[in-house]
Structure 1
Amino acid sequence: MSPYDLRLTPEDRPGAVSQHRPSTSRSAKPSRDGSRRTQQTRPRRKQRRSRGGRRRRSLLGRLVHGIFLLGLWGVIGAMGVVGYFALTLPPPEELAVPKRPANVMVVAADGTVLGNRGETRGEEVRLFELPPYLPQAVLAIEDRRFYSHFGIDPIGLARAAFVNLTAGGVVQGGSTLTQQLAKNLFLKPDRTLTRKVHEALLAVWLEHKFTKDEILEMYLNRAYLGSGATGVEAAARTYFGKSARDVTLAEAATIAGLLKAPSRFAPTANPQLAEERAQTVLSAMMEAGFITEEDAKLALISPATVRQRTPGESAGYVADWVYELVPSFIGEVRQDIVVDTTIDTLMQNAAEAALVRVIDAEGKEKGVSEGALVAMDTSGAVRALVGGRDYTRSQFNRAVKARRQPGSSFKTFVYLAAIEAGLTPDTIRNDAPISFGSWSPGNYTGKFKGPVTLTEGLKDSINTVAVRLTAEVGPERVIAAAHRMGITSPIGKNLSIALGTAEVTPLELVAAYVPFASGGYGVVPYVIRRIRTTDGQVLYERRGDGPGRVVSLETVGAMNYMLKQTVASGTGRRAGFEGWPAAGKTGTSQEYRNAWFIGYTAYLVAGVWLGNDDGTPTRKVTGGSLPATVWADFMAAAHDGLAMADLPGEYHPAPSGPMVADSQTLPWMQGQPAQAAARSADPSAPVPQRTGGGLFGRGGFFNRLFGGG
């Protein structure tokens, strides 16, 4: 065959199979220099070429190439998205972790925690202060790879995605503790792509800015754990009545279990679910190697027990009141503080128990739904304060904020003004009908006794005598005496104040009775002894006394003599307890809307109010009935173990003899023989009239007020 023959052989045809056995060598091809060279023959691979002459990739190659390009563009797109959302955040140098809201811990005189107030309801604790199994419980159930990831956990995200995909819904999250902290610190709880990207970016920033321990500490102090508790300290106080520093392993597991759903797993609301969730946490801790199987078994044997709450949780009223007072002493609260109070825990519990017991036993029958009790010592320190029947149902503090008509318990200041004006407990006044214009006050019994001493008038709470005395000394003197003693509410200048129509709070009324127990010294009631930071720096400490002497010792003796008769044989007989020298005054306002008893010993002054928030009348409850019973129950418990002491001041009553119609006249009546004679001859005679203006004149104040002729 000619070497230049160009006809196709069968081997040259597409898909043809060679008919010759290939040789082990190929004919040498001529080289450029004319020489021929040989080469080892190799099986020829079929090269598939496109029509353009380029090689065509296999299907696998094209798939790999496509995946690579898709991944590359995906990374570029993700970086663009991240960059876009990163631009919507503040610059890193401007980012700052917001300060944790300050907590106010309110503490009784013996160190018992009465309550925590503020947004968190618990102080901030350091990680090293906590038992190791508390943070371990949180890590075991929430983020086991916390100390190894960089703020985002790809393994956790992949696991969560797989679980959710197989479950057909979202049943597991992939957020790390750092991401959860970022959300709590900086973001709103809405579920959007923007929030998730911001959460991830901020988590990475937190990991760069803080150590792992610092992040874990912040998380433990800021996680919401149900029932108004933010942080593990608040949760431990709320559910177990102790500090997080002292929780057991079972209690730690219960707290960690709350993170998934605080309301659902709260041991106060669903104890069974809470216990089951705690068991799950213990199992996770054991799997993570934080505790041994023996530790888990011991915790299961002794599960967490929710603290037993008293029926009314009355300490809440004290904590709320103190929280409101704190800024007036130190300004805005910017850090965790501890407020040491004057509250005696035994007295506080006794006060709540006495009030609740009486209302529960007789309140429904007597039409009484609410009450309040205040007790303070002779320095003005509040030792017990109950603002209502049940704090969990109503947080309104009736002891401090409710203004009510005191009824006859205000008569004490009428008699005080009369004694200071020169009368004595033995002075005679006539219990007889009396009128001022169109107003004719009557007595509770509807009867009149005729001539009685001031002692009898006060102990039996005779209205006509109180009104006569107010008219004699003038309402201005009564108001001045009440304000000097401690009443701070405004009092109108009219004769009806003799019957307690001016509204007052239980706190101020009790404070106004303190000078009788202290020997004449007024007080400014207080409950805060000291305010300090958690590291011991004192921000405020009470110093100084009250207003000093506000009434003479002689007058105190006379008043105590009369008020002791009220408890011994008058309207307050039910207030007597265990033979203690005690004095006090009952009070019942119009239509039985308010019932009071305010009384005292040489150690303690206490006041009780019973009634209804809406002002509806009770079923004829008087101050000498249920309030006196509550007062006696409380005072008996409060004086347990104290040495018996008499009230200050002395008064020696005049020898008994024939009762004189008017044994003494007021100094301002002296020098007016005709008027004084008229009063002596007829004690029931109306107040002397003066012509012209003034208080009693024909054109005077009372004439205009009551429409007299």
Structure 2
Amino acid sequence: MARSPARGGRAAPPPSPSAAARPRQRGGLGRWLGRLLVLLVWLGFAGAALLLYFAWDLPRPEEALATTRRPSVTLEAADGRLLSTAGDLYGEVVRLDDLPAYLPGALMAVEDRRFREHFGLDPVGLARALVANLRAGRVVQGGSTLTQQLAKNLFLTPERSLRRKVQEAILALWLERRFSKDQLLEIYLNRVYLGGGAYGVDAAARLYFGVPARRVSLWQAAILAGLPKAPSRLNPRSAPDAAIRRGAEVLEAMAEVGLITARRAAQEAERMALPRRPSGDSGWFSDWVQDDLAEHYPGAGDLVLRTTLDLRLQAAVEARLEALLAGPGAAAGVGQGAVLALDLRDGAVRAMAGGRSYRASPFNRAVTARRQPGSVFKPIVWLAALEAGATPEEEVSDAPLTLAGWSPRNGAWRGRGEISLEEALAHSVNTAAVRVLLRAGGARDVAGVARRLGLRGPFPDNASLALGTAEATLIDLVAAYAAFGNGGLRVEPYGVARAESAHRLLAVPRTAPQRVLSAEHAAMMRRMLGAVVARGTGRAALVPGKVVGGKTGTTQEFRDAWFIGLAPPLVIGVWLGNDDARPMDDVRGGTLPAQLFRDIVEEGLP
């Protein structure tokens, strides 16, 4: 039975609907929070998996900062000017305090103006670049910070992909946490690739301007700061105009951020002037010098080699050879040429052109090509005769002769009967040359003299050797003639005068000159070679005011034309022809080759 309410009391009101619903709301909120937590957990797993995907093959930054590099080889000309570099070229490690403030300032102005404000990634800069690119309809700005560039250059490949960009961002964040801003800037300035094999601003300053980074001028600093954008395309040595245009852009950027005034930027832009390289095609010489480096300097590390190359003479050789091939040579069907200049005293190579253009063909026609020397071989025949007892005044017949069915011809020479050995060499009389060879003991004895002078052959074992039917390289012929000019000493051609590694001088392998003929016979040979130029086939090589001598040579059907000449202290050899042995149009050793010798002597020697 139900109890009635107490007297005078009120009945309790029934529960309101809202109050009844509260427990159910709390349960719904809990379920929502639980689902959110599960979602966050799964997102965390997904983020971790994604991070693992991007980071699983990241390099260890500490190891990459100490990575090894290829040893560098720096070649200097005889006067110390830079000739070429190979390998990875690094200069001195620079500190910010050592550098003019405008060098790092120029870099930040053009590459990352907010470098000191951002945390390695720059959302503001990225947004600004996006707007600029959208307005231009093409990529005109990049959003990468200097820290991101450093991460890419130090640790990553140039691959363009989302994965690589994410890895770059991760490493940039690590770098910013690991190093201060000044330290990051120093690492960048010391490690960034700036073209030409140069890593870091000091190596680049020395390569492009011949000064250390601490001494660069404002406009030079602007050019260096502009190189990271495209080191190869903006290389001051290979693309000076592009480098100057980029440098002007950097100066404008410096003016925009207030580092310099607009007027100063314009003044510095006017001062930009990159010197023309004194030698454009010394690549043949550089290749030749570096052929045996591993054998001569094993494990030496970075090398600085002072070479024997005379840049003034090299420039004269290149200019005169190109002028001849483009002018009278082209008209006469001459497609190629080679020139080699040697110091006859010790064998130092002073100039070398292995062809018309190294970029078009690095094949070295001065060193590698073996061809018939024609009549430039005759002085060796004459030397053999002198050593057998003959004298320049001794007479020899120039009459026709036949040996085993072979009859050498004298061309336009009109027989005189008996002429001196000196006259026979001066006019390159073939029938007399064969008789001189026989008087010297025959082909084998003459071949022995040739080998003693450094020629390697092969040599035919018959009288045609008197007319130069052997094989020889230009460099060997030039070295052989050096013995005539220096009093009888055989010299070994060389190109390195001094070698240095880690500021330590290294021994330079070199063969000392060796006597291979008497001073008396050398003097007789100089006298007869002088007659060739004074009144014989080499008159086109005559240089007023200089004592010169030499010998002309022409092979069958004008396939090769030679002149090897003495112009103390040098001996200079010239070859003209075609790579496919196509005949030239009446080009003889006494024409274009002798003229080229004269032009080089007049321009290249003081």
Which of 133, 138, 161 in structure 2 is aligned with 1:192? 161
Question: What is the one-letter code of the residue matched to 1:515?
Answer: A
After superposition, the CA RMSD in angstroms is: 3.8
The answer to whether 1:424 aligns with 2:424 is no
Q: 2: CA distance between counterparts of 1:53 and 1:390?
A: 88
Q: 2: CA distance between counterparts of 1:566 and 1:583?
A: 7
**SS of corresponding position for 2:507:** strand
Which residue number in structure 2 is paired with residue 54 of structure 1? 26
User: Mapping of 1:203-602 within 5 angstroms?
Assistant: 203=172, 216-217=185-186, 219-220=188-189, 223-225=192-194, 232=201, 247-262=216-231, 277-288=246-257, 290-293=259-262, 295-300=264-269, 302=270, 304-309=272-277, 313-332=280-299, 334-335=301-302, 337-377=303-343, 378-445=345-412, 447-472=414-439, 473-533=441-501, 536-541=503-508, 545-546=512-513, 548-602=514-568
Question: What is the one-letter code of the residue matched to 2:83?
Answer: L
TM-score normalised by structure 1 residue count: 0.74
Contact 2:340-2:475 within 8 A present in 1 as well: yes
CA displacement at 1:105 relative to structure 2: 1.9
The answer to whether 1:98 aligns with 2:84 is no
Q: 2: CA distance between counterparts of 1:145 and 1:559?
A: 75
Question: What is the one-letter code of the residue matched to 2:26?
Answer: R
Q: 2: CA distance between counterparts of 1:82 and 1:67?
A: 22
Question: Looking at CA atoms only, which structure, 1 or 2, has the larger radius of gyration?
Answer: 1
**SS of corresponding position for 2:290:** helix
CA displacement at 1:123 relative to structure 2: 4.3
Which residue number in structure 2 is paired with residue 109 of structure 1? 78
Q: 1: CA distance between counterparts of 2:9 and 2:563?
A: 138
Q: 1: CA distance between counterparts of 2:112 and 2:164?
A: 20
Q: 1: CA distance between counterparts of 2:287 and 2:428?
A: 36
Contact 1:100-1:222 within 8 A present in 2 as well: no
Q: 2: CA distance between counterparts of 1:209 and 1:610?
A: 63
Distance 1:53 1:308, change over 3 A: closer
Question: What is the one-letter code of the residue matched to 2:268?
Answer: A
Contact 1:239-1:268 within 8 A present in 2 as well: yes
Which residue number in structure 2 is paired with residue 607 of structure 1? 573
The answer to whether 1:140 aligns with 2:109 is yes
Question: What is the one-letter code of the residue matched to 1:594?
Answer: D
Q: Say how many residue pairs are matched.
A: 596
Which residue number in structure 1 is paired with residue 152 of structure 2? 183
Q: 1: CA distance between counterparts of 2:379 and 2:596?
A: 21
**SS of corresponding position for 1:513:** helix
Give the percent of matched residue pairs that are identical in Structure 1 and Structure 2.
Answer: 46
CA displacement at 1:600 relative to structure 2: 1.0
CA displacement at 1:458 relative to structure 2: 0.8
Which of 567, 582, 589 in structure 2 is aligned with 1:616? 582
Distance 1:360 1:217, change over 3 A: farther
Distance 1:275 1:475, change over 3 A: closer
Distance 1:186 1:500, change over 3 A: farther
**SS of corresponding position for 2:498:** strand
Question: What is the one-letter code of the residue matched to 1:417?
Answer: A
Q: 2: CA distance between counterparts of 1:272 and 1:49?
A: 82
Distance 1:537 1:208, change over 3 A: farther
Show CA shifts across 1:217-247 (max 9, x none): 5544554545776655676577667765654
Distance 1:53 1:280, change over 3 A: same
Contact 2:61-2:155 within 8 A present in 1 as well: no
Q: 2: CA distance between counterparts of 1:469 and 1:132?
A: 76
Question: What is the one-letter code of the residue matched to 2:148?
Answer: Q
Of 598-607 and 131-140, deviating more is 131-140
Question: What is the one-letter code of the residue matched to 1:464?
Answer: T
Show CA shifts across 1:47-76 (max 9, x none): 89568242777xxxx8x9999987775555
Q: 1: CA distance between counterparts of 2:553 and 2:212?
A: 44
Contact 1:240-1:305 within 8 A present in 2 as well: no
Of 154-163 and 123-132, deviating more is 154-163
Show CA shifts across 1:300-331 (max 9, x none): 4x253343346x61333333322334333212
**SS of corresponding position for 2:291:** helix
CA displacement at 1:538 relative to structure 2: 0.7
Show CA shifts across 1:548-591 (max 9, x none): 21101221122222211111101111111124332211111121
Question: What is the one-letter code of the residue matched to 1:444?
Answer: G
CA displacement at 1:274 relative to structure 2: 5.5
TM-score normalised by structure 2 residue count: 0.85
Contact 2:561-2:577 within 8 A present in 1 as well: yes
Distance 1:211 1:401, change over 3 A: farther
CA displacement at 1:188 relative to structure 2: 2.7
Show CA shifts across 1:471-496 (max 9, x none): 44121211111121122454343332
Structure with greater helix percent: 2
Q: 1: CA distance between counterparts of 2:123 and 2:503?
A: 45
Question: What is the one-letter code of the residue matched to 2:463?
Answer: L
Distance 1:104 1:404, change over 3 A: same
